[in-house]
Amino acid sequence: MTNFDLEKMVDTSDEWIRTRTGISQRHIVSENEATSDLSTRVAEQLLEKRGISADEIDIIIIATCTPDHFAPSTAALVQNNIGATNAWGFDLSAACSGYLYALETGNKFISSGQYKKVMVIGVDTMSSILDFTDRDVCVLFGDGAGGAILEPTKSEGGIFDSILLMDGSGGDSLIMPGGGSRMPATIETIKSKQHFLKQDGKKIFKYAVKGMAEVSERILDKNNLTGDDISLFIPHQANKRIIDAAAKRCNISENKVLINIDRFGNTTAGTIPIAMNEAVADGRIKNGDTILLAAFGAGFTWGSMLIKWDSIF
């Protein structure tokens, strides 16, 4: 869906969206396609690339705020779809920071020594909770998914530090009010559009710039690193202006910042794994590289992570 498509739906323009956000287009699922379908495709691609069968997966973690259902979990649907007969798993809800939270969770399962293969997927079908008559919100998001299989390594590589944070006082700034136990679905909640995402865009912008920049700076300082030591900075893709401000504050030069928001929009938990996958595919990430990840999202939730890239591919 391009900005020009949106021009026909709400009072907006390609120029406004590009200059305020950096987005030119986003992907929207087809009718009847949901979060477990995107996740299953990612899971199948991961298994194929790794050359293993589904029964080798120990745990499936799905980071999403747009699950197919409250119950069963999306993880259970994916487990069944791919035939991961030895896996258990769960959905993890941390909105745009979901993939960082999930990577850290998977990392701890691997470090425990008890599990050998943890599949982590970041996925959101944001179009299912967008009001396509609300220009403040609908132009920002897209649907998408990506993931990884985490495994133990004997080398020094891997996830070597993370800082994850949360401040629930920001909860009202980005919220889908209806549908949960606080406001179960009724004719009235549907009529008053309580089942769509609502946001205070200006407030989120301010907190996201500060949060992503500070937590990125903090993890660099903690590890005695500077922006120069980073091979690639892969931030959550919410708004190009938020990314630019965070990168500037950490003294990370523009050519080391991965930006693909122009083609995908904000896919919430999907942004970081999609960007990582693209960077691996086009050779921008190589083994031994030091990668900085950072995210900020609803909750508020935010965090940063340092990875010494160590892939078998």
Longest dimension (CA), the chain: 57
Among 63, 94, 204, 261, binds ligand ACO (CB under 6 A): 204
Least CB distance from residue 140 to ligand ACO, whole Å? 5
d(CA 273, CA 146) in angstroms, rounded, equals 5
- CB nearer ligand ACO, residue 79 or residue 267: 267
Catalogue the E-assigned strands of the chain. Answer: 59-63, 88-92, 118-125, 143-150, 158-166, 174-175, 198-199, 232-235, 290-297, 301-308
Structure tokens at 6: 């949106």
For the segment 96-125, give every residue that binds ligand ACO (CB under 6 A): 96
Question: Counting contacts by CB under 6 A, is residue 202 touching ligand ACO?
Answer: yes
In 10 A of CB 255, how many CB atoms?
A: 6
Contact 6, 17 (CB under 8 A): yes
Least CB distance from residue 171 to ligand ACO, whole Å? 12
Structure tokens at 157: 């590589």
Least CB distance from residue 16 to ligand ACO, whole Å? 4
Question: Counting contacts by CB under 6 A, is residue 301 touching ligand ACO?
Answer: no
The 250-279 site mask, x for binding ligand ACO (CB under 6 A), equals ----------------x-------------
- CB nearer ligand ACO, residue 89 or residue 146: 146
- CB nearer ligand ACO, residue 89 or residue 170: 170
* Residue for token pair 């599990």: 115
Question: Counting contacts by CB under 6 A, is residue 296 touching ligand ACO?
Answer: yes
- CB nearer ligand ACO, residue 12 or residue 93: 12
User: How many residues touch ligand ACO (CB under 6 A)?
Assistant: 21
- CB nearer ligand ACO, residue 11 or residue 156: 11
- CB nearer ligand ACO, residue 115 or residue 296: 296
Beta-bridge partner residues of 297: 301
Question: Counting contacts by CB under 6 A, is residue 139 touching ligand ACO?
Answer: yes
Least CB distance from residue 135 to ligand ACO, whole Å? 4
Question: Counting contacts by CB under 6 A, is residue 140 touching ligand ACO?
Answer: yes
The CA-atom distances, in angstroms, between 174 and each of 91, 95, 126, 210 are 20, 10, 13, 17
Summary count for the chain: helices (H), strands (E): 11, 10
User: Which ranges in 134-194 belong to alpha helices (H)?
Assistant: 135-138, 187-191
Among 208, 209, 258, 272, binds ligand ACO (CB under 6 A): 208
User: Which ranges in 8-159 belong to alpha helices (H)?
Assistant: 14-21, 35-50, 74-82, 98-111, 135-138
Residue positions annotated with a catalytic role: 96, 236, 266
Among 43, 54, 174, 215, binds ligand ACO (CB under 6 A): 174
| SS3 at position 97 | helix
| Piece of the chain touching ligand ACO by CB under 6 A; list 67-75, 177-185, 195-203, 219-227 | 195-203
Question: Counting contacts by CB under 6 A, is residue 16 touching ligand ACO?
Answer: yes
